[in-house]
């Protein structure tokens, strides 16, 4: 079901984690406070529980992650669900493409038993039979007290994904004049998807994900292009070095590498100057950040 309401959204009441940048020349939207190191629960606390389930998200919240990361796919009937892959095979007992199944069909699947089978040392009986949540169900469960770091996955496969996402966020008062504060970051590997969101609502903070096959390099021209619509960049921590981090930071962009699970790597990245990172173990990152401060 697609929503057709006109998306004319103005972000107000920004929380202390956001500051508004109202430059007459640039007209840039909100920027995250770069003094705050973000601890992003990657697919929830997915080192301990089945990724992209309510159980994993709850654990991320308990471990004091600053944001829940929600990857989005879209069902045959236009519903946004929390799932990393375009296919059902890896994290459910189903098979095939998400886009070929209705939400009702996907709701019949088991999204937790695979974790128990793959990680028997972390298995819990309650993980068996967990369901794939919709974005709306995640928001309904955690409400406005939680922060959401949402990724549009494969947006070229799902026409209308961005409009649907913004409409849901507005409906639950996470954007717009009734929002008590900004609680949402949107990221994507697709510049086109982010530019579309920016066009629909220039006040939503966006993060451009970049995939590097080799050690990362970036030019001033590339950074300036990203700055036209994004407040930050994200990439694999294994591809960057201190010079890369400092160059991105010197241009006023935030940098949130993924997926950092070992404390030594976390510590090194903090020393390099990153402004946050994604981790399957938010409890570990919390300890490292506390000792770093």
292: annotated active-site residue = no
CA distance linking residue 213 with residue 230, whole number of Å? 22
CA distance linking residue 165 with residue 8, whole number of Å? 14
* Active-site residue identified among 52, 84, 198, 256: 84
Q: If you compute the radius of gyration of the chain from its CA atoms, what whole number of angstroms results?
A: 18
198: annotated active-site residue = no
CA distance linking residue 133 with residue 131, whole number of Å? 6
Burial class (CB in 10 A: 0-12, 13-18, 19+), 152: buried
* Active-site residue identified among 42, 52, 198, 256: 42
Query: Which residues are paired to 74 by β-bridges?
Result: 80
Return the SS3 of 158.
coil
Burial class (CB in 10 A: 0-12, 13-18, 19+), 227: middle
Active site residues: 42, 84
């Amino acid at each position: 079901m697609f929503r057709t309401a006109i998306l004319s959204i103005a972000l107000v009441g920004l929380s202390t984690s956001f500051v508004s940048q109202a430059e007459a020349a640039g007209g840039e939207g909100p920027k995250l406070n770069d003094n705050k190191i973000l601890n992003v629960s990657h697919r929830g606390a997915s080192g301990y529980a089945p990724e992209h389930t309510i159980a994993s998200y709850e654990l991320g919240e308990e471990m004091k992650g600053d944001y829940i990361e929600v990857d989005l796919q879209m069902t045959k009937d236009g519903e946004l669900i929390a799932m990393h892959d375009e296919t059902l095979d890896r994290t459910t007992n189903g098979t095939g493409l998400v886009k070929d199944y209705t939400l009702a069909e996907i709701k019949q699947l088991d999204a937790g038993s695979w974790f128990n089978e793959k990680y028997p040392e972390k298995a819990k009986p309650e993980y068996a039979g967990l369901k794939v949540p919709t974005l709306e169900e995640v928001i309904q469960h955690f409400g406005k007290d939680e922060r959401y770091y949402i990724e549009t996955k494969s947006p070229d496969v799902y026409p209308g994904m961005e409009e649907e996402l913004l409409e849901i966020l507005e409906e639950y008062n996470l954007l717009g004049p009734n929002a008590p504060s900004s609680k949402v970051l949107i990221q994507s590997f697709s510049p086109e998807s982010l530019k579309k969101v920016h066009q629909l609502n220039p006040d939503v903070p966006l993060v451009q994900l970049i995939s590097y096959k080799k050690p990362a390099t970036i030019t001033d021209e590339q950074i300036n292009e990203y700055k036209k619509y994004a407040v930050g960049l994200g990439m694999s921590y294994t591809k960057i070095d201190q010079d890369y981090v400092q160059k991105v930071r010197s241009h006023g962009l935030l940098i949130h590498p993924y997926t950092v699970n070992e404390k030594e790597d976390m510590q090194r990245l903090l020393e390099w100057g990153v402004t946050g990172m994604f981790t399957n173990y938010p409890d570990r990152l919390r300890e490292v950040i506390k000792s770093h401060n």
